[in-house]
Chains A and B, each alone.
Chain A
Amino acid sequence: MIPLSHFLLISACLFCIGLYGVLTKRNAIQVLIGIEFMINAAVLNFVAFGRYDAEQGGGQMFALFAIILAAAGVAVALAIILNVYKHFKTIDPVKTDTLKD
């Protein structure tokens, strides 16, 4: 039986790795990957706490919901990234600093 705190330690590390990716990467797809890491860290927490909920399965249910929401978010985000690339000819978030024109 793995103790709960070890799951939480792993997900804390994973969250901070994702945060680092979001803050420092200069490629929108890599920023998106960083966000995915943060979402996955949250899902790991859901699942780890869900072990203590045998009647209602709340942790596992919301882990599933979070995974599906993340997938929907990625689809929209990638469509936006492709459009940004068409418009600016770059996906460097530092350089795409105008909303219109």
Chain B
Amino acid sequence: MSTEQIIFYFFAALVLISAFMVVSMHNLVRSIFLFFVTLFSLAALYVFAFADFVAVTQVVIYVGGVLVLMLFAFMLSNKELLSKINPVNGLIRINHIAGILVCVLFLFILLNVIIQTDFENLKWIKAADQISTNDNTVHLIGIQTMTRYLLPFEVLSVLLLMALVGAAHLARKERKV
């Protein structure tokens, strides 16, 4: 096993374990801080797919933006958000079982498809020219953004403006009439 593989599987295990702990934990603060760990190790996995720019963006946007937003959301709201949601009764348990069943069955379908597909021998994967370690992906992304993907880029900027205005409108204080 090479060093590359050891590091990759270490981060993969970190992603899955911390993600599972996030959803199984009752304490909201702890689960949000564990969410940090998941996002950081996901960024590490992106690096292994030669997507270093995406990894940096992941760190900047998620850790710098989304998580700070989430932390502020529950700091600005009442303390009750932090307290444990009511203890489970019989009905909720049944809800949980249905949810677990759906997830496990869906996971089974996905794993089945992935394991049965022989990716290495697919025609288009054999024909594709892969990104190598020497390629400059930042250079590639910069050029592609301004040429081939200009329209999605511009649409995205309009959508970001809409989201910003919408969020500001929703979060503003209601004026007494």
Contact = CB atoms under 8 A, between A and B. Distances in A.
A54 to B, nearest CB: 5
Contacts of B92: 26
A67 B148 contact: no
Given A12-B111, A48-B49, A55-B129, A74 B66 contact: yes
Contact of B125 (A4, A23, A73, A79): A4
A53 to B, nearest CB: 7
Contacts of B62: 36, 67, 71
B49 A51 contact: yes
Interface in A54-87: 54-57, 59-65, 67-76, 78-83, 85
Contacts of B48: 2
A59 B125 CA distance: 14
Counting chain B residues whose Cβ lies within 8 A of the other chain, the interface size class is 35 or more
B171 A83 contact: yes
Contact of A82 (B19, B35, B77): B77
Contacts of A1: 4
A74 B45 CA distance: 23
A79 B77 CA distance: 11
Contacts of A7: 45, 49
A9 B163 contact: no
Contact of A37 (B38, B99, B102, B117): B38
B23 A17 contact: yes
B20 to A, nearest CB: 6
A34 B20 CA distance: 10
A25 B23 contact: yes
B85 interface: yes
B130 A19 contact: no
30 contacts: A1-B4, A2-B49, A3-B119, A3-B120, A5-B119, A14-B16, A23-B102, A24-B23, A29-B70, A29-B73, A29-B74, A32-B70, A33-B32, A36-B66, A37-B38, A50-B51, A50-B131, A52-B130, A53-B128, A53-B131, A56-B148, A57-B140, A57-B141, A61-B149, A62-B152, A67-B54, A67-B58, A67-B61, A72-B159, A82-B170
